[in-house]
Amino acid sequence: MLTTLLLAFTTNASAAREGALVWTGIDFGLVRMVGTGDFRDTEQIFPGYLDKWNGLFIEEQMDALAKKAKVETVSASLSHLADLHRAADPETQVLRDDSFPFTDELPREAIIERIQSYELRATEGLALTLIADQLHKPSQLGCFWVVSYDVASREVHAMEHTCEPAHGLGFRNYWFGAIKNVVKHLDAVR
């Protein structure tokens, strides 16, 4: 599943900076949220839940990420996400139609452009980010681009698209379940 990405990630980790990783968060600025029921309260979702999911990741997944990526430390650089999430547009990103096809994924070029536009506080090292593609309620899947890149140059080392089942109680935990599954499957190379 994420074997190719993690192989590239662990290979480039030592080249970028031995034993360290910069987590640059979950970017929801391009996400499409599909479904008639889950995404009604856009004023709370944008940017409220987008920021809450990143906070929850810091609280619950940083140790798991370090272990899966086989690095000693993971630092976080998330300040760039605030403006990106405030600029997200629920009018175009929330699709209240359960028949929306679950086939289109954001193109690789758009993901690379997005990474290159990041204004990070971190200045060096290898970075890892998730770029949310779809939260698709009819299929109960969350889809993400998992991207590793060089912080200084923004050169993408590896990227892979993955869809994981959503699960959990309540809106926040349900969609965070898909995010946790992405991290869980990062160790596919072990």
Domain-wise residue ranges, the chain? 3-189
Distances (CA, A) of 179 to 107, 127, 134, 143, 185: 20, 17, 12, 9, 10
Model confidence over 78-112: pLDDT tens digits? 999 999 999 999 999 999 887 777 767 899 999 99
Q: pLDDT per residue over 4-15, tens digit each? A: 555 555 555 444
The pLDDT of residue 2: 56
pTM above 0.75, yes or no: yes
